[in-house]
Structure 1
Amino acid sequence: MSADLIYLVLGLALLLAVVLPIALSRCAVSAPIVLVGVGAVIGLLPFDKYGLDPVSQQAFTEHLAELTVIVALMGVGLALDRPLSLLRPRSWRGWSLTWRLLLIAMPLSIAGVALLGWWVMGLAPAAALLLGAALAPTDPVLASDVQVEGPSVTDDHDEIEESDQVRFALTSEAGLNDGLAFPFVYAAILLATAGPVAEWGLKWVGWYVIAKIAIGVIIGVVGGWLLGKIAFRSARESLAVARRGEPLLALGALLAVYGLAEVAQGYGFLAVFAAAMTLRSQERGHEYHETMHSMIERLEQILTLMVLLLLGIALTNGLLAALTWPGVLVGLALVFVVRPLAGWVALRVGHRSEPIGVAERWAIALFGVRGVGSVYYLAYAEGQAVFPELRELWSTMAFTIIVSVLVHGIFATPVMRRLERIRAAAA
């Protein structure tokens, strides 16, 4: 990609970051829809052929999506008010909706998409599993319309609690499933490179499912705890950044924790989210959490706008060239059938322990937004193994993201407002 185009995309991203949030605040059309459309128009302009192709520019695509996701995960972790502590088992009950979505809805979605990819699209088992693993996780980047708005700060710590079950469930699910989908991405890579499951199944469970998750969580929790202690309670003025209100701690924390987790062979996505949650748990009512979140949110907006503009440009420069009618059916099935049914089943299991209304249950099941995380997983797998159907996978994934952006972008705001009115009437 040429330097001139990079300047153009960065400039447009910054300008739109200033204008769009307010301009679209009362519209049913979301910013991602506008940005993809603007990018598509830019892609039609008579520039030199700069080859904006995720297949040929795998490293750039992977690292841009990677940075966008970890910034979003930091923001999600800082935004959640509901506590979660490894040392307080009772706190886990408040996350029961999240656990059901992660342990039931996500595996069902992966299996459903993989089965459709194999049966409808005729993909090889490894490619079908990769498609399922990449598309199943909900996205922390593009789901801002249905997520919690930010951390609540108050002197009374007992008052800090999310009352909106829909926003909490979708936010916490997006924060955790980007890391928990990684074992299935690795399973697809191993299936493509290491032969039958019998040859690597035990290693996959022991290392990719258990050990790498544990490493990521431990590094995240310890890193967040240490940084929180230093920032809030250090006697040295130079280290007590919370008292100075220096927001760059959040950026430094996410990069350091992510890098350490990756060096240690753990899942960096989980480490960043765990670090953010642990940092948030310290001095919960301190306004510094809001300061950090605001900075991360602005950086996330810029990166997201850039990714969406580039996605739009790629759409009109061949990204959908390998899309087939079976691929269209799989993408539509995920958005309208697989995720809603998987989410509904997950929320019906054990629903008496944390009852929610039918409208809220359907909202959680339906609003599983697909986005930048899927781009990262597919680009990462491309760098690890050879998948002959790679271009078809990219086209199908891009189509699914566009459908998700359109459908969820149009209906998210009206549906969330409707739920707020229902809760207000019930109160």
Structure 2
Amino acid sequence: MRLSRYFLPTLKETPSEAQIASHRLMLRAGMIRQGAAGIYSWLPLGLKVLKKIEAIVREEQDRAGAQELLMPTIQPSEIWVESGRYDDYGKEMLRIEDRHGREMLYGPTNEELITDIFRKEVRSYRDLPKMLYHIQWKFRDEIRPRFGVMRGREFLMKDAYSFDLTPEGAVKSYNAMFVAYLRTFARLGLKAIPMRADTGPIGGDLSHEFIILAETGESQVFFHKDFEKKDALSLNPDYAADLQPIVDDWTSIYAATEEMHDAATCAVAEGDLVTGRGIEVGHIFYFGDKYSKPMGATVQGPDGELVNVEMGSYGIGVSRLIGAIIEAFHDDNGIIWPESVAPFKVGLINLRSGDAACDGACDQLYKDLGAAGVEVLYDDRDERAGAKFANMDLIGLPWQVTVGPRGLEKGMVELKNRATGEKTEVALADIVAKLA
């Protein structure tokens, strides 16, 4: 993409309403614009990152055996009355009425709707287990939306739901999602620490939230230093096998949020206990028949008797993850994207637009990199060099290739690693192979 044609409305000054780094940088880098409090439009650069995160989440869900569907954003209120949550959910639920006077709501989550779908279509234990998921926009009417996409009112979420005949089967489904989450966050460039969590309004008695470390995290977290050695990317699980040993390995190491941590009873030695700030990026629950029982989601068991299915739910805040990644990876100059989610891999900078040699070299590089499958944002604007460098640092692409007249005289270009700041001279003839 040529920057001269790209819709990228960057800002030099920090908007006054932005309180944390991710909000400031997403606004300045032209990724989002606010339409109303806690509600954002996603501009091209932001949407590219959103789609890349979504793709990784989808790949790992599919790999774990979950099947994708798509449920609507608007739900009928009566299924929430059935489950008993309609009045309990509170003012975070946006309640609306259609032209016929029917009470509807903008879904904050989908336990009720997926249970309604299941109970109408599945009758026998032979059809179990089932795991279904979708990636859809949600709305929760936060009393105080803040921090940009980290705590907005409208957000993109992956929510999955498992259905099993027995508690033992449900735990297997839970474990599959546990491992899939570890792999998902690792592929996004994040080290996520699973921590035992309160189930809250979702219900149930088994729950973990996945926390990444960031200085601006919402809550304080405590964990054993051994977590720093764990590598989720090394996991190559067989999802048909028993995954309990993997889950036990990860949960046997102490980790707790400030709500769950008790300094008086914590057995971890002081020198081994690490403390920091954390951001929740995923949450999983096993809640048994909390929804299937009141909503009549039963199947015929092996003995012919009707059985309430055992259920779990599993959420990842897809849009929230962008803010979390930026909180974890940025510096004073801007964002530092992990390659797996970067909107473009390479920023190509023409130091002297209008110069025949520079234009020719950049045009050919742009063409060759694209042919090699490398996504490039080419700054071909007639703009001063300092502004081009600052802009590339702000949007945080992993690699910057700078082409200038002096270097071209020697057949060289400059390659910069955005994460380390390291700059090296590379032969123009070699740069495509190096980046591809």
**TM-score when scaled to structure 2?**
0.23
**Larger % of helix: which?**
1
Higher percent of residues as strand: 2
Which structure's CA Rg is the greater one?
A: 2
